[in-house]
Every structure is written in C-alpha cells, then in structure tokens.
Homo-oligomer: A and B are copies of this chain.
Amino acid sequence: MDNTRPTLEVVARRAGVSRQTVSNVLNSPHVVRAETLERVQAAIVELGYHLNGAARQLRTRRSQILGLRLQPVEDGINGAVLDRFLHALTERAQSRGYRIMLFTAADDRGEITSYRELLDSADLDAFVLTGTHHGDERTRWLTENAIPFVTFGRPWVTDDEPDEHSWVDVDGAAGTRAAVEHLVAQGHSRIGFIGWEAGSDVGDDRRAGWARAMQAAGLADDAGLERLSSAVNDGVRQGAQATERLLADESPTAVVCASDSLALGAVTVGRGQQSPLAVVGFDDTPVAAAIGLTSVAQPLSEAAARAFDLVMRQIGGGDGDAADSHILLAPHLVVRQSTHRPA
C-alpha cells in the first residue's frame, strides 16, 4: 500500500488555503465560504484523499465504530487489565451508540496496516490505542492522517518532543508511592522493589514512585535504592528468584512489585521465611483478590470512559484545550492480608 497519502498540509497547499481552513472545511463547514469549501473539497478529491481522514469527515453519516487492537494473551496474570479496559470501553461506547471493532496485529507496523484496511473497508470513525511507548509510529501515522484517536497510556515523550494527541493514563508512580507510604505507616523501613529491566516506560515510572517515596521518608539514598531494587522479566518464577536474592543480600521486611505476577512469586518465597515478608502487587488482578495480596488498582472504568469521551470530542469537531486532553488518573491501594506489620 502507498505510504504517502496527502496530509492536511498538502490539501491546504493544493487548494491555496491555510491548514486551518482545511480543518474548518472538515469540522465546521458552515463557517467556510461556499467557493472556498468547493475548492478545498475538490483538492481533497483530486489528491485521492479518499476514504481516509479528510474525506471520511466529509461524510454525512458516521459508522459509529471505534477500532481497538486486541493484544496477544500473555501467559501471566497481568493481561486481565487490558481485557477489563476493553469491557469498560465497550460498555461506555455502547451507551453512546458506538461499537468497538477488534483487530490483531503482530507489531506497530502491522497495526498501522490494519488502520488503513479498517478505514477503507469498515469506515471506522476513530481508534483507541493501548501499549504506548517512546517513539510510537502509530500515533505519528494517525496524527499525520488526521484520524481521530486516543491512547490509553501516555506518549512517554521527552521534553523536546511534541505531545499533542489525546491520552488517558493511570499514575503508576503514585501507586507505588502509596504502597511505600502504607508500609512505612505499618512500621516497615527496609522496603525493596521488584520491577522490570530499565527501559520499559511503565516499569521505570513504577520504580520512580517507590524510589521517591523511600527518599522522602529518609529510608534510602541513591546507593541504598540501587541495592534494594531488583530488575527482572515479568513472571511468577522471576519474582520468586528476585525475592530470594533480595532477602539474602538486604533482608527487606517488605517488597513493592511492579506486577501481581512478580508479587505472587514474592508471596510464595516470603511465606517460607521465619518472619513473613509483606508484599504489595500492582494491578489488583483476580489473583490478588484470590490470595489476599495487597495491590495497586487502576481505575479502568473511569479510564475507558474518559478515553471514549476524548475521542468523541475529536469526532464532534470540538477543539478544546490541549491540556484537557491529557488525563492522568490516580490509582488506589487495595489493602489485604499480604501487608502486615514487620515481625
């Protein structure tokens, strides 16, 4: 497929108008003079901008369908989070007359190919993306092609990059910070962290929340934080092994984990100790509820509702303030038996 479809910019040049005027033609045609409207619409047609961005927005009737890529099932425990987001999104959309269409893709590039196919064949109105990461090609493509979309997950941009698209995310660092504060209130001071290898945006954020709370409580300097934290791949076995190493080297009385999978491994090892280890997981999965694991819960229904509303605002043609379209929600700690006072 052709990767060089004209963008709004090209349409604007062809019609000899500003980018804003093209945007007006698409979103508020009643404010555009008839002659200009006609010229811009002709440019769109000439440039073959059909069945995509601009032309789709010229339709009188929307498909009322949003697309979402279903992520592959993970063997672990954490995949349930996106399934719960999907359930909540489907319900919110349906209550507003919209439906969710699912697709799969092997990677980001495959996801972009699916966007094209879905726009052409099923005339989708917008996309909801999950699993955002630094340098995400998908959001660039959607932005360039003027397709409405929202991401569940921050763009994880650095300071000198633009951060213009709509997103909803949960403040993971606030979650691990709350976990540390809860453990400190119980009397713990040697609190370890078990997370993922550096470079995962979500994982780095969860570690940062633990680290800042430890420093704020005066419980560790940089070297101490380094010693008290462990970075592994996600998984129950990995969580167990990391816990064994931390216990042998640093004797923590509690650990905060970046996932319930890691936490389950920590609980298994911790049970065998003379003084039981307090453990906090992340994501409040069914496993956490089942085994009495204290865990950080994401407000997934609210995240889905806000994401849907952000997409509607774009489809409705409203501009809004860019700041309003970046929504960071607070998680909350669900306290269960796995966090107790130190022995």
Contacts and interface: CB of A to CB of B under 8 A. Distances in A.
Interface string A209-240: 00000000000000000000000000010000
A286 B289 CA distance: 13
Interface stretch (A25-33, A69-77, A134-142): A69-77
A264 B118 CA distance: 42
Given A73-B87, A104-B91, A261 B290 contact: yes
A261 B80 CA distance: 16
Contact of A99 (B86, B101, B236, B261): B101
B64 A87 contact: no
Identify which of A94, A264, A289 gathers the most chain B CB atoms within 10 Å of its CB. Answer: A94
A65 B122 contact: yes
Interface string A108-151: 00000000001001100000000000000000000000000000
Contacts of A289: 75, 236
Given A99-B103, A261-B290, A90 B77 contact: no
B100 A101 contact: yes
A114 to B, nearest CB: 8
Interface residues of A, number: 35
A122 B83 CA distance: 24
B90 A104 contact: yes
Contact of A87 (B72, B76, B87, B94): B72
B103 A90 contact: yes
A287 interface: yes
Interface in A283-337: 286-287, 289-291
Contact of A286 (B64, B77, B84, B291): B77
A60 B216 CA distance: 67
A64 B122 CA distance: 9
Nearest to A78: B286
Interface string A48-89: 000000000000000111000010110111011001101100
A102 B90 contact: yes
Contact of A264 (B101, B122, B290): B290
A287 B102 contact: no
A76 B291 CA distance: 12
Interface of A: 63-65, 70, 72-73, 75-77, 79-80, 83-84, 86-87, 90-91, 94, 99-104, 118, 121-122, 236, 261, 264, 286-287, 289-291
In the A-B complex, the 9 residue pairs with the closest CB atoms: A83-B83, A77-B286, A100-B102, A90-B102, A73-B87, A101-B101, A236-B290, A91-B104, A264-B290
Given A99-B118, A236-B289, 6 more contacts: A75-B286, A79-B286, A80-B83, A86-B102, A100-B101, A100-B102
